[in-house]
Amino acid sequence: MDQGMLELVKQIRNPGPRAQNFLGDAYMFAKEAYLDSSENGEATLTHTAEIARVVGSWGLGALTMSAALLSKVPLNGTYTGTIKERLGTHLLSLIQRLRTLSLISFDVSKAQSVRSFSTFFIATAQDLRVLIVRIAEHLVMLRKSEALPLKEAERLAQETLKVYVPLADRLGMYETVKELENIAFAILHPRVYKKLSDSLALQEQDQAEVMTHYLDMLTTALREGGINDPFLESRTKTIYNIYKKAKKKRAGVADVYDIHALRVIVESIEECYRALGVIHSNCPPIHGRLKDYIALPKSNGYQSLHTTVISKDGITIEIQIRTRRMHHNAQFGFAAHATYKHPEGAEMLQWFPYFFPPPSMDVSSSGDETLEQKLPQWITSLTSPTTYVSPLTEENVQRQKKFLENYVFVFDSDGLVTKLTNPAIVIDYIHTLRGRKDTTAFDIQINNIDATPETPLTNGDIIDLLSRKSNEE
C-alpha cells in the first residue's frame, strides 16, 4: 500500500474494510487526477492529503476525508463522470460544494465584503461536512504560513479571525479554535504574542496541575452535595483572547480573571444554585464577581451563573454553572456564545441555525475524551460509515431555497462576493461600490457578455466594469 495511503488509513475513525477500500479508491483517483492535470500535481496531492488527515483526526469518516482529498480535482466532464461512477453521487456533491466555496473571496478590510462572504458561505455549504473541510484546509494553510510572504500571511490571519474562528467555535471545535487564534495572533502581533506567551509559559505547568486538582476535587464535592451526575470541563483562554480582554479592560494580564475557567453542567436550575453553594464552601469567591444570568438573563437569552474563586495556590478561576438546556442554548441557540465572543462573526453565525438543524443536547463525557474535546458528539454522528447522506432536514432545505430566492450573490472578476436583495440589476451592484457611481465612466460585462446598468442579475453572475478610458488607450 502507498505510504501516503497508509497515513490516511491511520486516521479513519471506523477503519473497516468498506471505509478503507472507499478511501483507497479516492486516494488512487486523486493521485491520477492531480498528476495528469497539473505540473504541481504531487504538491497538490500532498496538500489535500494533509487536509484529509486533519479531517480524520477530528473524527470524521472516509467519505469526508475523500472529499477533502479530491477537493482540488478539476470538475470537467471527464473527472465529474469518473467520480460519480467510481465513488458515488454523495461524494461528488460534497466536492462540488467545496469547489464552489473555494472560488469566492472577500476583502478582509471591508466589513460589507466579509458579511456578504460569510452569509454566502453558510447559505451554499448545504452540509456541515463541507464547513468542517473548509476549516481543516484553512488550518493547514495557516500552519504553513511561515513560508508565505508577510502580506499574504497577514491576509490569511485576518480571514481566520473574521470567518473561521467564529465558525469553528460555533461548531464546538474548541481545540481548533485555540490553534487558529494563536497562529493568527502570532502573525498579526508577533512581539505581543511572544511577550504574553513567555509570561504564561512560566506558570503553565503548575497552573495546569492546579486546574486538574480542582476539577477532580469539585466533581467529588458536587456528588457529595447531592448532585448525581455533574459534567465538568476546564479550559484556558487562548493568548489571543487574553490579549483582547486585557485590551478591553485596559489592564494587565494579571487583571484578567478568567484565564482559567471551569464549566459545571447539571440537570436543573435548583442544582445550579446548590452547586454554587458547594463551590463557594470549598473555594473562597472574589467579592463582586458573582453574576446571576439565570435570574436576569442577558438580552440575547444567555443564562448561566458566573463566579470567580481563588485557589489555595492564589490562582483565579472563573466558574460557569448551567443546566444542560442552558448549555445547549449557549452553544447552539439564540444565545450562541460564539456571537458573544466573536462579534465580527455575528452576521455569519445568525444564519447558521437557519440552515442547519440543531444538534443533539447530549453533553455526556462518555467515549473517547480526547476526541470529544476536539469534536462535539453531534458532529461525530456524521462520521458513521452508513451516514453518507446530507444531514439537512426538508425544512432546512426549503429555508435555504427561500433564502436564495430573496438574495442575489454576484462576484467581481477577482472573485469578491456581494450580496444584493432580489430582484437586483447592475446599478444596484454599482451603488455598493465606493467611487464608482458614474455608470458612464465604464463599460459593463456580465459573464463576458455586454450589459447595461438595467440588466437583471442572477446568483453567480460575474460582473466586470471596464474603464472606457483604458479601453480607448
Domain boundaries, the chain: 3-147, 202-327, 399-472
> Which of 4-8, 24-28, 321-325 is least confident?
4-8
All three cell numbers of 77: 466532464
Tell me the average pLDDT of the chain: 76
Query: What is the structure's pLDDT at 336?
Result: 45
> Which of 4-8, 85-89, 274-278, 308-312 is least confident?
4-8
All three cell numbers of 116: 456578504
What number is the average pLDDT over the span 277-283? 91
**Bigger pLDDT: 344 vs 444:** 444
Task: Specify whether the backbone of 265 is left (phi greater than 0), alpha (psi in -120 to 50) or beta.
Answer: beta
| Annotation: CATH topology of 3-147 | Hypothetical protein af1432 (1.10.3210)
**Bigger pLDDT: 460 vs 167:** 167
Band (442; pLDDT cuts 50, 70, 90): confident
> In degrees rounded to 5, what are phi and psi of residue 218?
-70, -35
- pTM of the predicted model as reported, rounded to 2 decimal places: 0.64
Q: Is the peptide bond before 423 cis (omega within 30 degrees of 0)?
A: yes
**Bigger pLDDT: 183 vs 297:** 183
Band (17; pLDDT cuts 50, 70, 90): confident
Q: Rounded to an integer, what distance in angstroms lies between the CA atom of residue 351 and that of residue 431?
A: 25
> Which of 196-200, 297-301, 318-322, 354-358 is least confident?
354-358
Query: What is the structure's pLDDT at 108?
Result: 59
pLDDT at 439 over 60: no
Q: How far is CA 454 from CA 60, 439, 444, in A?
A: 47, 11, 11
> Which of 103-117, 235-249, 342-356 is least confident?
342-356
- pLDDT digits 0-9 by tens, 100-152: 777 666 665 666 555 666 666 666 666 778 888 989 999 999 999 999 999 99
CATH says 202-327 is which class? alpha beta
- pLDDT digits 0-9 by tens, 199-217: 777 666 666 777 888 889 9
Match domain 399-472 to its CATH number in 3.30.70.100, 3.10.20.30, 3.90.1300.10, 3.30.1950.10: 3.10.20.30
Query: What is the structure's pLDDT at 68?
Result: 93
Q: How far is CA 97 from CA 133, 159, 347, 463, in A?
A: 11, 20, 21, 22
Band (390; pLDDT cuts 50, 70, 90): very low
Query: What is the structure's pLDDT at 93?
Result: 85
Same fold, 3-147 and 399-472: no
Query: What is the structure's pLDDT at 227?
Result: 92
- pLDDT digits 0-9 by tens, 26-73: 999 999 889 887 788 889 999 999 999 998 888 778 888 999 999 998
- Judged by DSSP in three states, 61 sits in coil
Band (159; pLDDT cuts 50, 70, 90): confident
**Bigger pLDDT: 320 vs 460:** 320
Task: Specify whether the backbone of 276 is left (phi greater than 0), alpha (psi in -120 to 50) or beta.
Answer: alpha
Give the CA dihedral 179, 180, 184, 187, nearest 10 degrees: 40
> In degrees rounded to 5, what are phi and psi of residue 202?
-65, -30
